[in-house]
Amino acid sequence: MDHIHLIKNRRKQTVFPFTILFEDDYVLAMVKPPGLPTANAPKGTDSLFTLVQRYLPAAAFVGVVSRLDALVSGVVVMAKTKASAAGLSKQFRERSVKKQYRAVCAGRFPAPLGKWVDWYDEVVRPTDPGKQATSKQQHAHVRCRVIKRAAEVCLIELNPSSGRRHQLRTQLAHRGCPIVGDRMYGSRLPFSPGIALHSALLECKHPHTGQEMCFEDPLPGNWKNHFPALF
């Protein structure tokens, strides 16, 4: 089937703090702002999930099939039917979904400008607050390159094939180039809100029609103000 580039369907909501890229009876794709959890927020606080619940009609089904850390911004997809949730979740499990991230990192990226490198790591799954510590390791792969360097920071493109929690944050920090603003993983440079990691693109198949879909939000507008030398 024909490929459709759904960024053209973007519309800005005035009540809810997220941008909708595409919506039909089966799928809702949007841009999550930094500082907002995807789901499972503490009682009495909002998440993208609870905001979508209020945006949709009462009792509508909302299926969380992809997640971003609260500090991370960018493209997120949710399902509007149980069948769509099952179909999309299967694509994520089978790693057929294409994901692209952009990050601004401090330190020296360990590869020449523009050269693609592949990192294969075993990352330790972080422990949720209040839970017993765990040392469970998970396989993580990402293909990445430097797009541009400026003084002590660089703009990175990252294409992970796996989706481990905190994966990109851990892999970059391990190589001495933590994401700007990510104090948990050693960044000393400030950034607000959130951290300088953004889900820029997500490609998957429509769970009902099988049509290829591409959702894109290249960069947050405030990045140009924070890092004028990179843009």
Residues with a known catalytic role? 69
Q: What is the pTM of this model?
A: 0.87
Tell me the C-alpha distance between 197 and 156, whole Å. Answer: 9
From the CB of residue 191, how many other CB atoms can be counted at a distance below 10 Å?
22
In a structure prediction context, what are the per-residue pLDDT tens digits for the chain, which is 231 residues long?
333 334 334 444 435 678 999 999 999 999 999 999 999 999 889 999 999 999 999 999 999 998 999 999 999 999 999 999 999 999 999 999 999 999 999 999 999 999 999 999 987 665 555 544 455 678 889 999 999 999 899 999 999 998 888 999 999 999 999 999 999 999 999 998 899 999 999 999 999 999 999 999 998 888 999 999 998
